[in-house]
Structure 1
């Protein structure tokens, strides 16, 4: 192969390189936000390798193309920025059910008074035990069940709904993402509601007992009762809580479909 043929071959690869770069720009925020594509616990090199592999798959096997050729570097930078914004929206929506699990667990630990800062002061960790436990439990249930292909398929099918460079940051898309964030926060509060009821019941019982027998000091038994009572309710209701969170995972496909429709 002489120099001219090599140069012509490299020039012919230009459109393919642009498509792979734009696919990577959309998938990169998703890989950093959604735990099903790595999330924050996965090493950066693994996430980047996964993004590159999926981008090559979308170009070679799925046949993703760019509607119009890129004329300048400035136009390419604008397309990359669009894909980054849309990928951030998709990653945020796909990660909301798992974030709801973490928010619910932190709400539970806040009410029970068993956060890692209070129970493990020498560990140097500021994470919530119940929050991290529910988060990883939901991720494990999704990966081991049949919901993982559902979410990943919805993310990849988005390339067919919203083509490369076709994303438009509309007001409807912003409001849709805001509504989904509010729904995830409401789910997190609903997850912690039974434990909140148990803790408030303990506080009410201790208040009535203190008024009935003021000479008895019940403040020292309040914290252990809330920790044990809340833990018992959490243990008994884990199945119901996971069903509520998995229902949110099931709704991701529809949420991404609506986002793709309003983002064009």
Structure 2
């Protein structure tokens, strides 16, 4: 292969390489933030392979490409930063229902007194048993219930809503993401509120009983009763909690669309 032929081959592949790189830059934060595309539990090599595969599919099959050619490395770096920032916003929005499930579980364990940092202080872990359980339960329901294409279609169609290089960082997009984060916090509190109210009620009744009968030592029994009462309520209301979390997940596609409207 001569030098001229090799140079012409590079010039022909240049726009495709740039388009694939920009698609990968947008999808990379989503793969690291959203558990449906990997999340924190998936090995990095698997996530990078998935991102590159999706980027090649979007460019070769869906025809996603950059409308204007890149002339300088500085322009390519600026476009990459823009796609990374927009991908971070997409990943945050797509992961909010799962984060709400984790926050609700931690809120529950905080009031029940069964958080990992309270029961295992030596390990230094910050995980919560109920938070991890609700998070994994929501992921399982989404994957097995056929709801996973909702987020994937929203991410893929997002390349048509906001084309490569068309993202404009704005105050409206930032406020939109902040509002969605606040909604996820409200969902997490709503998930944990019934168990928190039940444990506070148990504490109140236990305090009244201890005050009425001070000769009986009931302090050692307070924590087990609170843990059992909160666990029983969590077990009985897990269906309602799942419906609340699924309703939050079903709104992700609309949230991605509205984010694209304010970002272009």
TM-score category by the smaller chain?
A: over 0.9
* Alignment-derived partner of residue 29 in structure 2: 29
**Corresponding residue for residue 213 of structure 1:** 213
Q: Which digits, 9 at most, give the CA deviation of each residue in 1:165-216, with x for residues without a partner? A: 0001111111110000000001000000110111011011112112211221
What is the Cα deviation at residue 139 of structure 1?
Answer: 0.5
Corresponding residue for 2:94? 94
Distance 1:19 1:49 in 2: 17
1:14-25 matches, cutoff 5 A: 14-25=14-25
Q: Please identify, of 205-214 and 113-122, the stretch whose mean Cα deviation from structure 2 is larger.
A: 113-122
Q: State TM-score, norm by structure 1.
A: 0.97
Alignment of 1:51-200 (within 5 A): 51-121=51-121, 123=123, 125-200=125-200
Q: Deviation digits for residues 22-64 of structure 1, max 9, x if unmatched?
A: 0000000000000000001000000000000000000000001
1:5 is displaced (CA, Å) by: 2.2
Q: Which residue of 1 aligns with 2:229?
A: 229
SS in structure 2 opposite 1:75?
helix
Tell me the CA shift for residue 8 of structure 1. Answer: 1.0
SS at match of 2:40: coil
CA–CA separation in structure 1 for the residues paired with 2:150 and 2:249: 9
Q: CA deviation at 1:127?
A: 0.8
Instruction: For residue 4 of structure 1, report the CA deviation from its aligned partner.
Output: 2.4
Q: Which runs of 5+ in 2 are unaligned?
A: none
Deviates more, 1:118-127 or 1:207-216: 118-127
| Equivalent-residue separation in structure 1 for 2:26 and 2:35 (angstroms) | 16
Partner of 2:249: 249
- Give the Cα separation in 2 of the matches to 1:78 and 1:205: 61
Q: Secondary structure of 1:13's partner?
A: helix
TM-score by length of 2: 0.97
